[in-house]
DNA sequence: GATGCGAATTGATCTGCATCAAGGTTGCGG
DNA sequence: CCGCAACCTTGATGCAGATCAATTCGCATC
């Protein structure tokens, strides 16, 4: 296990003494929650609105926050191993996590990308069927397995929320199966870029600019290709004017429509 | 829509008058349910034990059975189209259903296989993101969308059951992503055979015999290959002694261990 | 700016699977 | 028993993407 905990940010208790950040906006968004009762740590937390915590009452938040802790995970560090037993769940607060499977001989496939404020963990199963690794610097809020499972049992809304997320991930996985099984290399790369664009800039209609959260090697593992093929297809898309590449990681898409067409989704 | 309804078997009401089948075994298995209160149609139904209905009380079963109907679907007929709006859910009672996605130019990928007593349908979403087609002759029990959603809201155990199935399907989809993205043609075919073997004969340790529920074309669409490649790899596996092929559809696996090794799962 | 190193690109060649093209098998209706 | 059609197998050839092999780029450190 290679979790990096920054001093003064590891536990909830330490964070409580920090100044609240962006509190005004949060209050606006969460008119239905009584902020006075919500733990201070949670008040500035994104996950309280989109993540698991949005299904909890203030009293439950208080209880859960006693057992949870924030962690910062550096890019490239694996924090759950394939086949490892699971003793905790977590919420992604910031960053991107890749879920991957490895074969005995080392062949690897990324089977999912998770963004904030996704919930991570496989409920009702003792061990992880894949590895989780931070693709870029990432912050998560970790809950002990026991606490979450108790909350699920007593809060139907929470199970509904996790069920919805599982269905969303299932839809994504099946979309990706079509990409892996039937698309050409160019379509695969375009599909990946379209996926990232839609996540980093959900309401963009035409133009989009973003930082790729994955290296070429990661992209290859996500698309079932090699690094070289990914690179060639990126240059091909660039020469066709569908994308512009600044710093290897920074991509501009002048016309999302053309990108989506190149991805084979017409 | 091409649903084939056999006269006398279409509605619950007609079935009520039929003799009960395998009633003794059923009673043994379901000691916790008062059979006297359970609708007669449901008493001989497999899905009452493994499927959605196992989470319902006898009173709920009675209510649901009033709105549900049995249907027989011939092999090869599509009964839900991609992008079609969903007005019902169903339980598979018998048979195999393939879920597939098609691209605009006709390329197709099977993204899931469902066996009895799986639940079919995408809760909380108005339209289907893929097509459903019977791979072999199949029987389903159809419930109106409204009825199921009402039951979910009032029965936490039902949502838990559907959540568990969604997680199971997600695990399967991700396993298949590894197969599609990183395995060779031979490993793909071996993986498919191993999958079918495990479904048709779950507790077999060494030897297994089964009927393939899919044609070569379907297998190709499931594996992201062509018919020809599937056929070649089947003969290759046969010549290597890993499988025996009787009638194109009937396969014998003398040593499951060797098959699993050929599938790349060591 | 020079140095060094991992990451990315680019080029040459190879190969696994697709594609194209015949046959062979099975089963059904006349 | 024959002929047709759907399905499967087998063979010959082509090509997309893998593999092998240099560069080149980006960026941090001195």
How far from chain centre, in Å, is Cα A145?
19
8 Å CB contact of B264 and A103: yes
| Domain tally, chain A | 2
Q: How far B109 CA sits from the closest chain A CA (Å)?
A: 5
Measured from the CB, is A216 under 7 Å from any atom of strand C?
yes
Q: With cut-offs at 50, 70 and 90, classify the pLDDT of residue B35.
A: low
Residues A34 and A162 in one domain: yes
The radius of gyration computed from the CA coordinates of chain A, to the nearest angstrom, equals 20
Instruction: Please identify which residue in the block is written with the tokens 């087609």.
Output: B133
pLDDT at position A24: 34
Where do runs of H (alpha helix) occur along chain A? Answer: 12-16, 23-29, 40-43, 47-50, 58-67, 145-154, 156-182, 185-200, 216-223, 227-239, 256-262
Nearest C-alpha neighbor of A76 from the set A9, A140, A132, A122: A132
Nearest CA in chain A to B155: A156
What's the mean pLDDT in B223-246? Answer: 96
Measured from the CB, is B230 under 7 Å from any atom of strand D?
yes
Q: Residue A177: inside a domain, yes or no?
A: no
- Judge contact between B69 and B141, C-beta under 8 A: yes
Where in the sequence is the domain holding A165, given as residue range(s)? 21-170
pLDDT at position B250: 94
B100-140 pLDDT, tens digit each: 999 999 999 999 999 989 999 888 888 999 999 999 999 99
Residues B61 and B133 in one domain: yes
CATH number at residue B70: 2.60.120.10
Residues B248 and B120 in one domain: no
Measured between CB atoms, which of B107, B166, B224 is closest to A170? Answer: B166
Q: Which nucleotides in chain C lie less than 7 Å from some protein C-beta?
A: 7-12, 16-21, 26-27
pLDDT at position A135: 96
Mean pLDDT by 10 residues, chain A (266 residues): 36 32 35 61 79 86 90 93 92 95 96 94 90 95 91 90 95 98 98 96 92 97 98 97 94 96 92
Structure tokens at B40: 């007669």
Q: Residue A12: inside a domain, yes or no?
A: no
Q: Residue B44: inside a domain, yes or no?
A: yes
8 Å CB contact of B177 and A178: no
Residues B159 and B248 in one domain: no
pLDDT at position B199: 94
Residues B246 and B119 in one domain: no
Q: Residue A16: inside a domain, yes or no?
A: no
Phi, psi of A33 (to 5 degrees): -105, 135
What's the mean pLDDT in B228-233? Answer: 97
Is 90 exceeded by the pLDDT of residue B240?
A: yes
What's the mean pLDDT in B3-12? Answer: 34
Residues A135 and A203 in one domain: no
Final residue belonging to a domain, choices B128, B146, B170: B170
Tell me whether strands A119-120 and A131-134 are parallel, antiparallel or unpaired. Answer: unpaired
Higher pLDDT, A48 or B177: B177
Is 80 exceeded by the pLDDT of residue B10?
A: no
How many C-beta neighbours within 10 Å does residue B212 have? 22
Residues B153 and B239 in one domain: no
CA of B6 to C1' of D1 (A): 35
pLDDT at position A36: 60
Interface size A-B, in CB pairs within 8 Å, comes to 110
pLDDT at position B8: 32
Final residue belonging to a domain, choices A147, A170, A193: A170
Residues B44 and B106 in one domain: yes
Residues A88 and A202 in one domain: no
Please give the mean pLDDT across all residues of chain B: 85
Residues B28 and B86 in one domain: yes
CATH number at residue B191: 1.10.10.10
CA distance A195 to A189: 10
pLDDT at position B48: 79
**Smallest CA–C1' separation from A248, nucleotide:** C8
Residues B93 and B212 in one domain: no
CA of A28 to C1' of D2 (A): 82
Final residue belonging to a domain, choices B147, B170, B193: B170
pLDDT at position B138: 94
Measured from the CB, is B235 under 7 Å from any atom of strand D?
yes
Measured from the CB, is B227 under 7 Å from any atom of strand D?
yes
pLDDT at position B20: 30
Sheet holding B244-245, edge to edge: B208-211, B250-253, B244-245
Q: Residue A198: inside a domain, yes or no?
A: yes
Residues of B with CB under 8 A from a CB of A: 99, 101, 103-105, 107-109, 111-112, 122-125, 129-130, 156, 159-160, 162-164, 166-167, 169-171, 173-178, 180-183, 223-224, 264, 266
**Smallest CA–C1' separation from B75, nucleotide:** D6
CA distance A250 to B264: 37
B37-75 pLDDT, tens digit each: 788 778 878 777 777 888 888 888 888 888 999 999 999
- Judge contact between B178 and B171, C-beta under 8 A: no
Nearest C-alpha neighbor of B179 from the set A113, A176, A123: A176
Residues B88 and B165 in one domain: yes
8 Å CB contact of B182 and A129: no
pLDDT at position B232: 97
Q: Residue B125: inside a domain, yes or no?
A: yes
What's the mean pLDDT in B156-171? Answer: 93
Q: Residue B86: inside a domain, yes or no?
A: yes
What is the DSSP code string of A38-75?
Answer: S-HHHHT-THHHHSGGGGS-HHHHHHHHHH-EEEEE-T
What's the mean pLDDT in B202-214? Answer: 93
Measured between CB atoms, which of B99, B104, B174 is closest to A112? Answer: B174
Measured from the CB, is A226 under 7 Å from any atom of strand C?
no
Q: How far A44 CA sits from the closest chain B CA (Å)?
A: 30
What's the mean pLDDT in B143-153? Answer: 90
Q: With cut-offs at 50, 70 and 90, classify the pLDDT of residue B182.
A: very high
- Residue-wise burial string across A226-254, b where 16 or more C-beta atoms lie within 10 A, e elsewhere: eeebbbebbebbeeeebbeeeeeeebebe
Q: Residue B1: inside a domain, yes or no?
A: no
């Amino acid at each position: 296990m290679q979790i990096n905990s920054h001093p003064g940010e590891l536990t909830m208790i330490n964070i409580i003494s920090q100044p609240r950040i962006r509190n005004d906006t949060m209050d606006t968004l969460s008119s239905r929650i009584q902020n006075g009762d919500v733990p201070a740590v949670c008040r500035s937390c994104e996950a309280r609105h989109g993540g698991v915590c949005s299904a909890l009452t203030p009293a439950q938040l208080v209880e859960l926050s006693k057992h949870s802790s924030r962690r910062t995970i550096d890019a490239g560090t694996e924090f759950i191993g394939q086949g490892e037993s699971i003793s905790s769940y977590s919420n992604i607060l910031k960053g991107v996590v890749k879920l991957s499977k490895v074969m005995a001989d080392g062949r690897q496939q990324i089977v999912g990308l998770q963004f904030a404020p996704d919930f991570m963990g496989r409920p009702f199963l003792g061990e992880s069927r894949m590895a989780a690794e931070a693709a870029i610097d990432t912050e998560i809020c970790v809950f002990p397995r026991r606490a979450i499972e108790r909350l699920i049992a007593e809060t139907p809304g929470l199970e509904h929320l996790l069920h919805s997320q599982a269905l969303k991930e299932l839809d994504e996985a099946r979309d990706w199966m079509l990409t892996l099984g039937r698309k050409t290399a160019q379509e695969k790369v375009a599909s990946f870029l379209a996926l990232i664009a839609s996540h980093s800039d959900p309401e963009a209609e035409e133009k989009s600019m973003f930082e790729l959260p994955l290296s070429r090697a990661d992209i290859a593992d996500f698309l079932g290709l090699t690094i070289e093929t990914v690179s060639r297809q990126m240059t091909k898309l660039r020469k066709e004017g569908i994308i512009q590449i600044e710093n290897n990681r920074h991509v501009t898409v002048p016309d999302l429509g053309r990108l989506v067409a190149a991805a084979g989704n017409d």
